[in-house]
């Protein structure tokens, strides 16, 4: 079977790995010159660890990651609202892990043996034909494939080619991310919630901490230049323990800024073209499920392709198995973002009374087999 994977992010690399494990040899093209080396951090809840195990990469990843046993939610004054022991929910799946993004990309990339990788090449267009798909590359060459897998992220070119009516939607928050030295000893996933801002710190090993800050913003505000971290607003809103990490970050720290977007669509298949990962179902990061969903997509699609005689049947089976789970995650992300916008006293009451229950309710369905 001639398979093209477009995109060498978590979804595309995991897809290539899952296909190799089924004895298939895909082509993969990625527009960047190589997998990202730096970047920011990543939180992987237990179902991501289970997916990594199925890809044969859990030991290699865990060796470079920090296990996260506790998730702690504090209010804007640093008072505890909710404390959850992650293994109360994830014990049947695996550990929750935190790590630099580049580590996961490199682990996936280094696991590939049979995939024909082309970095520094992008896709210009995909044309679905009756039983194949025609890919046009940025250098003008055209190649016919039995299947094209769009793993090219939230602004997917593959999606634009076959579902031009589906656009990504802004979800109402802008964010900033960076890695800095852990000068205060953060030993758990720790978030502080303010009225329109939140600030999260996550230990990622080697004495470093991954920081994520977000703020509600109108569509118009979100279109303005976000490059500058709102340092003063963060320091005015949040006291210790997290403010110290913002205060002490070196001036040259690389800050990644962006607006948060989601992709919601009914169907991910058009002829012999299929979407996975953020190209199909990007969500706000409030459930930290992006990597897990991308890797689960890859495992299920590879399994369906190797088990079905006809590609059409495999793609229908993939959608049927993945849609309910992905819909659940997207709904939970929207509910969490809404809860965050409650007035401070409402948010505090809900989290104090039912923080653990809400955690359990939103994640337990994801502990079910994929
Ligand atoms: C602020 C923020 C924080 C997040 N935090 C977490 C977290 O803690 N945990 C978690 O699990 N998830 C998190 N996520 C979500 C997670 O990052 C994504 O779900 C995941 O990276 C999606 O991977 P992907 O491979 O589908 O897409 P991407 O990572 O976007 O990869 C797509 C790849 O395709 C390439 N590409 C694009 N167009 C073309 C083209 N035309 N031709 C060839 N190549 C192309 C791109 O260069 C890129 O390498 C977060 C997301 C955001 C925005």
With contact defined as beta carbons under 8 Å apart, do 148 and 237 qualify? no
Annotate 142-151 with b (16+ C-beta within 10 A) or e (fewer).
Answer: eeebebbbbb
Q: Which two tokens stand for residue 1?
A: 């079977």
Is ligand 1 within 6 A of the CB of residue 290?
Answer: yes
From 41, 30, 28, 7, select the one nearest 208 (Cα to Cα): 41
Distance of alpha carbon 26 from alpha carbon 360, whole angstroms:
38
Q: What is the pTM of this model?
A: 0.97
Is ligand 1 within 6 A of the CB of residue 214?
Answer: no
Give the residue carrying structure tokens 């939140």.
198
Q: Which two tokens stand for residue 6?
A: 């477009």
Is ligand 1 within 6 A of the CB of residue 30?
Answer: yes
Q: Which two tokens stand for residue 237?
A: 């809103």
Contacting residues for 213 by C-beta, under 8 A, at least 6 apart: 175, 176, 177, 197, 198, 199, 200, 229, 230, 234, 246
Q: What is the model's pLDDT at position 10?
A: 97
Is ligand 1 within 6 A of the CB of residue 12?
Answer: yes
Distance of alpha carbon 90 from alpha carbon 67, whole angstroms:
12
Residue 275 CA to ligand 1 centre (angstroms): 13
β pairing state of 80-85 and 197-205: unpaired
With contact defined as beta carbons under 8 Å apart, do 135 and 145 qualify? yes
HSE (side-chain half, CA atoms, 13 Å) at 305: 27
With contact defined as beta carbons under 8 Å apart, do 168 and 263 qualify? yes
Nearest atom (ligand 1) to Cα of 122: 42
Contacting residues for 339 by C-beta, under 8 A, at least 6 apart: 347, 350
Nearest atom (ligand 1) to Cα of 121: 43
99 sits in which H/E element: strand 97-100
Is ligand 1 within 6 A of the CB of residue 263?
Answer: no
Nearest atom (ligand 1) to Cα of 43: 8
pLDDT tens over the chain, length 370 residues? 999 999 999 999 999 999 999 999 999 999 999 877 768 999 999 999 999 999 999 999 999 999 999 999 999 999 999 999 999 999 999 999 999 999 999 999 999 999 999 999 999 999 989 899 999 999 999 999 999 999 999 999 999 999 999 999 999 999 999 999 999 999 999 999 999 999 999 999 999 999 999 999 999 999 888 888 999 999 999 998 999 999 999 999 999 999 999 999 999 999 999 999 999 999 999 999 999 999 999 999 999 999 999 999 999 999 999 999 999 999 999 999 988 888 889 999 999 999 999 999 999 999 999 9
Atom 18 of ligand 1, nearest CA residue: 290
Residue 133: Cβ within 10 Å count: 25
Atom 17 of ligand 1, nearest CA residue: 290
Q: What is the model's pLDDT at position 342?
A: 87
Is ligand 1 within 6 A of the CB of residue 81?
Answer: no
Is ligand 1 within 6 A of the CB of residue 46?
Answer: no
Q: Please name each of the domains of the chain with its CATH number.
A: 3-66+102-168+264-367 (3.50.50.60), 171-261 (3.30.9.30)
Q: Which two tokens stand for residue 336?
A: 């969490």
Maximum separation of any 2 CA atoms in the chain, in Å: 61
Is ligand 1 within 6 A of the CB of residue 294?
Answer: yes
Residue 155 CA to ligand 1 centre (angstroms): 10
Give the residue carrying structure tokens 């500058």.
228
Residue 236: Cβ within 10 Å count: 12
Atom 53 of ligand 1, nearest CA residue: 260
Nearest atom (ligand 1) to Cα of 11: 25
Residue 328 CA to ligand 1 centre (angstroms): 20
Residue 223: Cβ within 10 Å count: 12
Render 178-219 in DSSP notation, one character per residue: EEEE-SS---SEEEEE-SSEEEEEEEEETTEEEEEEEEE--H
User: Distance between alpha carbon 221 and the CA centroid of its chain, in Å?
Assistant: 24
Query: Residues, the chain, total?
Result: 370
Residue 77 CA to ligand 1 centre (angstroms): 33
Is ligand 1 within 6 A of the CB of residue 175?
Answer: yes
Is ligand 1 within 6 A of the CB of residue 39?
Answer: no
Residue 101 CA to ligand 1 centre (angstroms): 10
With contact defined as beta carbons under 8 Å apart, do 47 and 296 qualify? yes
């Amino acid at each position: 079977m001639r398979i093209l994977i477009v995109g060498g992010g978590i979804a595309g690399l995991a897809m290539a790995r899952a296909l190799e494990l089924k004895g298939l040899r895909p082509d993969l093209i990625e527009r960047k010159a190589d997998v990202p080396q730096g970047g920011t951090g990543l939180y992987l809840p237990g179902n991501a660890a289970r997916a990594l195990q199925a890809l044969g990469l859990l030991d290699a990843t865990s060796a470079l990651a920090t296990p996260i046993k506790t998730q702690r939610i504090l209010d804007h004054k640093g008072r505890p609202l909710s404390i959850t022991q992650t293994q109360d929910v994830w014990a049947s799946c695996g550990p929750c892990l935190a790590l630099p993004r580049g580590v996961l990309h490199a682990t996936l990339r280094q696991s590939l043996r049979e995939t024909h990788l082309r970095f520094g090449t992008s896709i210009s267009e995909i044309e679905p034909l009756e039983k194949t798909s025609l890919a046009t590359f940025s250098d003008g060459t055209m190649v016919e494939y039995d299947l094209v897998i769009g793993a090219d992220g939230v602004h997917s070119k593959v999606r634009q080619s076959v579902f031009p009516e589906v656009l990504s939607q802004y979800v109402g928050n802008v964010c900033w991310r960076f890695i800095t030295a852990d000068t205060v000893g953060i030993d758990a996933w720790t978030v502080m919630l303010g009225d329109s801002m939140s600030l999260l710190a996550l230990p990622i090993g080697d004495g470093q901490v991954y920081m994520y800050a977000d703020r509600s913003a109108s569509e118009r505000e979100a279109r303005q230049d976000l490059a500058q971290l709102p340092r003063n607003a963060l320091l005015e809103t949040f006291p210790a323990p997290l403010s110290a990490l913002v205060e002490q970050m070196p001036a040259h720290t690389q800050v990644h800024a962006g607006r948060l977007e989601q992709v919601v669509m009914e169907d991910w298949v058009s002829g012999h073209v299929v979407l996975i990962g953020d190209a199909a179902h990007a969500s706000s990061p409030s459930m930290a499920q992006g990597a897990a969903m991308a890797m689960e997509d890859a495992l299920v699609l590879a399994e369906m392709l190797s088990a079905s005689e006809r590609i059409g049947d495999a793609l229908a089976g993939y959608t049927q198995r993945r849609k309910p789970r992905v819909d659940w995650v997207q709904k939970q992300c929207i509910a969490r973002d809404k809860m965050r916008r409650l007035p401070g006293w409402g948010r505090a009451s809900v989290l104090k009374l039912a923080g653990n229950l809400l955690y359990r309710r939103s994640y337990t369905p994801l502990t079910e087999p994929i």
